[in-house]
Amino acid sequence: MKPNIIIKGRHVYRLAKGENPYQIPADLFSTQSDDPLSLDAFRLISGDAPGFTNLCGLDRLVQTLCRCSSAFQLKYRRTPFIVIAAKHGNPCGLAIDWKKPEVAIDKALFGNPLAIWGGEVITNFAVTDDVASRLYSSPKRQRLLHFSSWMLDIIVAPDFSSQAIQRLGARVKRKLFVNPALYHPILNPAKWTYRFTRNSFIRQPPQNYILDFNKTDFVGTETILQQEILDSLIIAWATAFNSNHGGNEVALAGNRALLCCGGGPSTIEAAQLALFKAKNQKHSVKNAVFAADAFFPFTDVPEFLIQAGVIAGLVPAGGQAFDDVKACFQKNNIPMFYVDEKYRGFCYH
């Protein structure tokens, strides 16, 4: 007989509002774990009290950053400067750079400059005066959208300069969170995670899979796989495996930046939506790479992505048509990494 479980929490603070205005009071509780990236470990240094959706978005940003950082650490034994620009926790821009954080900032914000309005940004490096200036406004945004300010609601970093706090904190609705553990983000160390359902909850281990290229089934020619392509594959994988656009997420990346991500009840609709988003933002997907968080049940998505111009991809193995899917990519000289079918995204059911 399984033992009963008692979940206890210490009250941290009252939230400004619930998920909807009528869902109040809303409160943050801590399980008082040793996890340095639990929500109660983030210190609000500017802005009014967060609401339910603010904290849920923050939680998902942290998970995506940890997933991305862990994959880079596993591959290279070091991590680049990482920036995630998101809306409601879903990345609409994710970029890295090995030398300059400012490069990653600009590429992430312009992944989808419309969607990031009122959104969230998280970094694994300190927000300096120069970084704060880039997060505040952009002449390029003024030219494109006739409004220079990014109007970010949440900015999260391991540290902020005093001038950055002063400039970004001038908008009271903008919440600045700081947590030094973001310099070296780790995946959830808990033994169990809990999904609360109606008057019940489900227990399982955390979804802590880290992409390891050495433990995938690679089919194709390795000569095309330069570091930039592998970096972009990690970005696409981290996005697809940690997004919630309706299921069956497909993400495309290039030049070490996220281009788009789509999801939907069917995988072909997810891929079509991703390509629509890229075209809408005038991103070229020619020579891009892709990742999907679920296997391809038919060859329609491979054919669609190949026609769009992708040059490499990553997808979980499995499905009745798996041999046909592999043959389709192989016939068109698209190098592919196939993740063991037990590892999929599926984080937000």
pLDDT in tens, 49-81: 999 999 999 999 999 999 999 999 999 999 999
Closest by CA position to 58, among listed 132, 154, 150: 154
Quote the longest CA-to-CA distance of the chain. 65
Closest by CA position to 267, among listed 294, 291, 287, 285: 294
Q: Say yes or no to pLDDT of 271 above 90.
A: yes
Beta strands 289-292 and 312-316: pairing type?
parallel
Q: Which CATH class is domain 213-339?
A: alpha beta
Our measurement of the distance from residue 133's CA atom to the centroid of its chain's CA atoms, rounded to an integer in Å, reads 23
Alpha-carbon distance of 265 to 344, in angstroms, equals 16
Mean pLDDT of 329-341: 97
Q: Which amino acid is at 50?
A: P
For 322-333, the pLDDT digits (tens) are 999 999 999 999
Q: What is the pTM of this model?
A: 0.96
**Angle CA 345–274–57, to nearest 5:** 55
Alpha-carbon distance of 335 to 223, in angstroms, equals 10
Q: What pLDDT is attached to residue 247?
A: 86
CB 12 within 8 A of CB 29: yes
Q: Tell me how long the chain is.
A: 349
Give the residue range(s) of CATH 3.40.140.20 domains in the chain: 41-183, 213-339
For the domain bounded by 41-183, which CATH number is listed? 3.40.140.20
Mean pLDDT estimate for the chain = 95
Alpha-carbon distance of 245 to 1, in angstroms, equals 38
- CA separation, residue 82 to residues 68, 108, 202, 246 (Å): 8, 9, 32, 25
Per-position b or e across 241-271, b if 16+ CB within 10 A of its CB: bbbbbebbbbbbbbebbbbbbbbbebbbbbb
